Amino acid sequence: MSNWKSIIENKLNIEKNVVAKIDLEKATVNYSEKIKSNRTLRVLTGDEEIVRAFLIDRLVNELDYKPQNLETEREYTVPIGRDIKNPRIDVLVKDEKGNPFFFIEAKAPSKFEQDKSEIEGQLFSLAQEEEKKSGTKVKYLVYYTAELQDSVIVDRAIIIDFETYRNYNDWENDGYVSIGSELTAGYGEPKKQPLIKGDEKYDLRVRINKDEISGLGKNLHNVLWGGGGTNDSEIFYSLVNIILAKIQDEYEKEDGEEYDFQIYQYGTHVESQNKIYERINSLYKRALREQLNVTDQQKIDDDNIINRNKFPLNKLIYTVQSLESFSFLEGRSSLDGKDILGDFFESITRDGFKQNKGQFFTPTPIVNFLLYALQLDQLAISRLNENRELPLIIDPSAGSGTYLVEAMKLITKEVKYKQRNKLKSSRQIKQRFEELFTPDHNENKWAREYLYGSEINFDLGTSSKVNMILHGDGSTNIFVKDGLLPFRFYVKETSPNFLETSSNEDVYNNKEVNAKFDVAISNPPFSVDLDSQTQREVKNAFLFGDKKNSENLFIERYYQLLKEGGRLGVVLPESVFDTTENKYIRLFLFKYFNIKAVISLPQVTFEPFTSTKTSLLFAQKKT
């Protein structure tokens, strides 16, 4: 949004009816004497003042409000504890009887999301004081900014019916409902225009600035996690499910269709919470099949987007309303056109997911060390040069997708930017590069074909899928299944599917191997019990199917997955390398792999989530 200020300055300068004017170079602002101001405003003290100048001009010259019915900087006396404060309201729009029609708090675009917590104090509290002080009736509270969309400055507002919601708690209990997103002309009732796929004005926003996405994450965390009473991870998984439903909505809509993921308004009536829930829940159930490859209809029928006993409907309404206008498939930074929603998801994962035994994340620096130690960047460049492909990569215990996301980032960063000069200059290579890494806003699309993952924990598997999508890959091969199942279990509706195929291998006791993958990366679960289905299957499919250590079964699975010369980089408990009990798996490793390195990690690496001492294993499957 680098030039929104100059666009506003130019607009105000060419108005025939000048009611507001700014000079960015001199940092000055001037308002018409027709507008009542309770404080002399001459200096541009910040971006908020630029927004207010635009708002004043828009109210008079576009929305037909008389300048003499506008007032700025009205002061109120509010006791706070032992102190007396004198806050001011930015803009009042009064009707012909002198009652405030719009009671407006203006914000800079970068502060709109971050400062939403001020709605209670700056709007509800001051509106109550206004009615006490002046004997008037306030109609609508407006939390407002102006922002740049496709070279045009537009309203962005939360409009609250103050006659319906007399206090903040009532508004909060109904899900923070806004009855409009833009100001209306001539004292008209605010309206909420439905969002429509492909509409020039009312489609989803694809340009998002970093400040607002950061503020969005902060607000979601404050509202959803505020007040306690619910496990952190339960709220996190509910939010992930809601985001998945939004992604499904964007995938399935045709041009001209209204999106399902939004709050509908009929006149001044907002649809019921139950109706919203049913529509969003239907999206989620379709996403289970189409996004997560769930084929069990009973599972789809039984699963719901939220547990209504633990995640109340008002929080669902708030979340839908907060996310509805952003595109989660096409959204990108307004500054450089790059991925921004992936960072948003990483922040809510970091702040909202409560790690526990068996469910804890490898620190990102450790993941990146592992990937570079595997020389994944060099492998990607050599594959592209030699056969116009990229390495097939798999994490059979993907968790929330950290290893796959970091592998995706690394390959894009190194091949497209840092080491592009190492690619051959032939037309074939250039054309393949364009196919894989362009356009810039979709530069991770190559991952749809080359990254695979499985995760038995349904909630974590869903998180992994959403994580990958928001980092720019819309259809990664994430299977919400145990990573130790026979390969025939990994079925999906689209092709290609390199994980589903298998053949018997003589040197491996004639057992099935997949042998399709160039790289296996993972932090497998340590010493966890297998479910009954997996227990039955591994007895015949694995050499050590009768052993109890889950991490050792995953070592055998890595062998099954990798092609000859395939690279392995995993986190393992140190007991794998030094106990008598695990001698058999060390012999297996020496027989089938060339061990490149074993690196002991500090005891504190995964604390406080586990005190297990761990090491990194780097190995290469023998040819």
Could you state, in chain order, the average pLDDT of each consecutive group of 10 residues for the chain (623 residues)?
83 92 94 91 91 97 96 88 84 94 96 92 95 92 91 91 95 92 92 91 86 85 71 83 96 97 84 95 94 86 92 94 92 64 81 57 91 98 97 95 94 97 96 94 90 91 88 77 94 88 94 98 87 87 88 96 98 94 96 97 80 92 95
- Asked if the 358-621 domain carries CATH number 3.40.50.150, the reply is yes
Longest dimension (CA), the chain: 92
The two tokens of residue 409 are: 């980032």
**pLDDT of amino acid 139:** 96
Place of tokens 């340590």: 526
Q: What residues contact 16, with CB distance under 8 A and at least 6 apart?
A: none
Tell me if 261 sits within 8 A of 283, measured CB to CB.
Answer: yes
- Helix-, strand-, coil-residue percentages of the chain, each rounded to 5: 40, 20, 40
Q: What is the DSSP letter of 194?
A: P
| Among 146, 37, 54, residue whose Cα is nearest residue 88 | 37
CA 490 to chain centre: 27
pLDDT, position 511: 95
Q: How much is the pLDDT for 1?
A: 43
pTM: 0.82
The kind and range of the H/E element at 51 are helix 47-61
CB 516 within 8 A of CB 501: yes
Q: Please tell me what DSSP assigns to residue 398.
A: -
Query: How far apart are alpha carbons 418 and 134 in whole angstroms?
Result: 64
What is the pLDDT at residue 357? 47
As a whole number of angstroms, the distance between CA 282 and CA 581 comes to: 50
Name the nearest CA neighbour of 400 among 300, 295, 478. 478
At 351 the pLDDT is: 67
- In the chain, what are the domain boundaries? 4-191, 210-332, 358-621
What phi and psi, each to the nearest 5 degrees, are found at residue 225? Answer: -95, -5
